[in-house]
Structure 1
Amino acid sequence: MTRAPLPLLLDGDPGLDDAVAWLLALASPEDAEVLALTTVHGNVGLDRTTRNAGVILALAGEAGAGVRVYPGADRPLLVPAVTAAAVHGDSGLPAAGLPGPTRPPEAEHAALLIIRTVRARPGEVTLVPTGPLTNVALALRLAPDIAPLIREIVWMGGSTTQGNRTPAAEFNALADPHAAQIVFEAGVPLKMVGLNATMGCIATPDRVAALRALGNRAGAVCAELLTFYAGVYQRRYGMNGGALHDPLAVAAALRPELLDWQAMNVQIETQEGRNLGRTVCDLYGVTEGPANAQVAVGVRDGAFFDWLLERIGRLE
């Protein structure tokens, strides 16, 4: 029996691994019905993340036709804004010869688009945020009635262990911890794909070479972006390639069997200090708090990359 494609709203701050993630979703029409791209502050400023969303749709060619871009929050709810331009480059997409967007972004705010879409398709829509959770939190605060109507939220963010922006906090969680707290307390079915899983899924030189060898524009751009990323990871972590953080969140939505999951209680640290933005994951149930998330604790990275390679190979 063939499953109907899963309706997805892709929310993020592209960003080079966001670009690979969104191309993966757009290249998977039998698995995903991409309803819209919504953009948020994060890796770079909102003006650039919004433009980059249009670039990604242009790169996707026919697969991106008809998908629209809705800009959202340009800052966190309460904390000062941070960016990750040192990781993603000043533009967010450090590749040469990229196409420009083929249409301007929509006027409707991303949070309002989320509300409208979820209400129109109750119980059907999965949100896949791969950046700070500001847009999703705003939607839930503006329209609390949508919480039981969301099929699932699959977030790339947090960690059961270490951070990457600070010793305690992963970037997407640190960039708006109060928004993350709202989302984790909303009672929506939630998957968290954090650093503890994504750092085990590396775009090694042979994998980058395989993307380049596809011979299409999308594969070449992905290879160029991931080569830039590899330089950052080599300098910062001594690793042989960049982690495929955001593409793994798309996999978690469409192919959850590629990951291992554990239900647990997750709390977000919102107090100023060294632990701001930490996702406090109760791995062993010591608090006896109810589980509010399915947390990725492992990944079959070979099978995941084979799937990613096949899908990117479909694009222009």
Structure 2
Amino acid sequence: MPDATQTAATPSAATEPAKIILDCDPGHDDAVALLLAHGSPAIDLLAVTTVVGNQTLPKVTRNALAVARIAGITGVPFAAGAARPLLRQVEVAPDIHGESGLDGPMLPEPAFDLDERHAVDLIIDTVMAHEPGTVTLVPTGGLTNIALAARKEPRIVERVKQVVLMGGGVHVGNWSPVAEFNIVIDPEAAAIVFEAGWDVVMVGLDLTHQALATPEVAERIAAVGTSPAAFVGELLDFFGQTYKDAQGFDAPPVHDPCAVAYVIDPTIVRAVKVPIRVETQGTLTLGMTVADFRAPAPEDCRTSAAMELDHDRFWDLVVDALERIGETADTDWTPRAAADAVEAGITTTPEI
């Protein structure tokens, strides 16, 4: 892996920020991904779209707008998308993300309205409005919106630069022994995306299980000293406890920002080209991302699997983004500890 002492990536004078559409289902790690995309100078966040996943569509959409207010995001269209998978029943993950999808912190009311377009149309319009090969799709939830967009307007497939998705895994699953949540909740959509003919980078569990929010990471985030950083701290507190209870992790893997980080600086990741297909029929293997390592990938292979992460440089990017966001105005957000103290009638009395 590259030298971990390198500083967080910033675009040079000759390099334009990467244009991305973030398709998400907030979700604690989606919230961190949104903050990273907003705070990084290497990212031009064109649009944010939501999809059913960690919780129902109304819940994850409200969560996305609440995070936008905490982060001070303005001028970026947000649109709601698919409320159910292509063929299957809705599955959500309250054991990890709580009943709201973003349990833990108190959430402010949204500061702006959704774009009137369906997320699929916003994705299509945004891709078609930019030069070919300049827009990267970054889905961090189920792939329903992306599949629908590719089917509704097939021309986007040749115009999109790449799809960098958080989902899947080569050696491990989390929703089943072999399947990762984002893929298995809509395997038919995932199959469409993987087989569409564009470049796909699968940032799956093999890599994201290395993105652990250790106590040292939590200390670095707390040291930023802003409301958005405190919000991330509260996210990680809740996320860490649910991951420990549900899957035995001592520190939670923060999956979704890994996909954004790859777009910011691909050198923090080791990815390998490999043919990948999605299992849509198996009784025990539904949603498995089947990577074929039996021989070197053919020259025309359009899929890659991310396998190794430079943990320190990844968290450098997240902390740098939080520092750049700084203290945002009009967040209407109070850290839960302070709110609980006020509710309990506890105040700090100055020393005399």
User: Quick check: which has more Rg, 1 or 2?
Assistant: 2
User: Which residue matches 1:26?
Assistant: 38
**What's the offset of the Cα at 1:272?**
4.5
Provide the residue aligned with 1:50 in structure 2: 61
Higher mean Cα deviation, 114-123 or 32-41?
A: 114-123
Q: State the alpha-carbon separation in 2 of the partners of residues 308 and 103 from structure 1.
A: 25
Counterpart in the other structure of 2:24: 12
Partner letter of residue 278 of structure 2? I
Gaps of 5+ in 1: none
Report which stretch shifted further, 229-238 or 192-201.
Answer: 229-238
Residue 119 of structure 2 is aligned to residue 107 of structure 1: no
- Report the counterpart of residue 99 of structure 2 in structure 1: 90
The offset of 1:238, in angstroms, is 2.5
Letter in 1 for 2:51: V
**Residues in 2 aligned to 1:294 and 1:189: alpha-carbon distance in whole angstroms:** 8
Tell me which residue corresponds to 2:334. Answer: none
C-alpha distance 282-212 of structure 1, shift in aligned 2 (>3 A):
same
Conserved 8 A contact 2:136-2:160: yes
1:192-215 CA-partner distances (Å, limit 9, x unpaired): 100011101100122112212211
Quick one: which amino acid aligns to residue 36 of structure 1?
A
Do 2:164 and 2:203's aligned partners in 1 also have CA atoms closer than 8 Å?
yes
Match for 2:303 among 279, 293, 308?
293
> Shift in Å at residue 103 of structure 1?
1.1
Aligned match of 1:223: 233
The answer to whether the 8 Å contact 1:264/1:290 transfers is no
Query: Are the counterparts in 2 of residues 265 and 290 from structure 1 also a CA contact under 8 Å?
Result: no
Unaligned runs of 5+ in 2: 1-11, 328-352
Asked if the contact 1:155/1:193 (under 8 Å) is kept, the reply is yes
Residue 289 (structure 1) shift: 9.7
Report which stretch shifted further, 259-268 or 276-285: 276-285
- Within 2, Cα distance between the matches of 1:268 and 1:303? 31
Where 2:256 maps in the other structure, the secondary structure is helix
Instruction: Please list, as runs of the form range in 1=range in 2, the aligned pairs for 1:158-237 lying within 5 A after superposition.
Output: 158-237=168-247
Deviations 1:114-147 (A, max 9, x none): 1111111122111100000000000000111111
SS at match of 2:54: coil
Residue 242 (structure 1) aligns with: 252
Counterpart AA for 1:12 = C
Distance 1:255 1:168 in 2: 29
1: CA distance, partners of 2:248 / 2:296: 34
Distance (Å, rounded) in 2 between the aligned partners of 1:96 and 1:216: 15
Which structure's relative contact order is higher, taking Cα pairs within 8 Å and 6+ residues apart? 2
Rounded Cα–Cα distance in structure 2 between residues aligned with 1:267 and 1:292 = 11
- TM-superposition CA deviations, 1:212-267 (whole Å, max 9, x none): 22110111111111111111222233222110100111001111110001000000
Judged with a 3 Å threshold, the aligned counterparts in structure 2 of structure 1 residues 289 and 172 are, in CA distance, closer, same or farther, namely farther
What amino acid sits opposite 2:262 in the alignment? A
Letter in 2 for 1:217: S
Work out the number of aligned pairs and report it: 313
Task: Please give the secondary structure, in 2, of the residue aligned with 1:153.
Answer: strand
CA distance in 2, matches of 1:156, 1:172: 8
Whether the 8 Å CA contact 1:266–1:292 is kept in 2: the answer is no
Question: How many percent of aligned residue pairs carry the same amino acid?
Answer: 42
Contact 1:192 1:296 in 2 (8 A): yes
Distance 1:127 1:107 in 2: 20
1:70 is paired with a residue of what secondary structure?
A: strand
Q: Which residue of 2 aligns with 1:136?
A: 146
* 1:242-297 superposed Cα distances (whole Å, 9 cap, x missing partner): 10100111001111110001000000000051110000011233897952312101
Return the offset for 1:98: 2.4
Structure 2: how far apart are the matches of 1:167 and 1:260?
Answer: 24
Kindly indicate whether the alpha-carbon contact (under 8 Å) linking 1:118 and 1:149 is maintained by their aligned counterparts in 2: yes
Deviation at 1:162, TM superposition (A): 1.2
TM-score norm. by structure 1 comes to 0.95
Q: Give 1:111 shift.
A: 0.7
**How far 1:7 moved relative to its partner?**
1.0
Which amino acid in structure 1 is aligned with residue 121 of structure 2? L
> How far apart are the structure 2 equivalents of 1:129 and 1:13?
9
- Checking the alignment, whether the CA contact within 8 Å between 1:13 and 1:44 is kept in structure 2 is yes
2:23 maps to amino acid: D
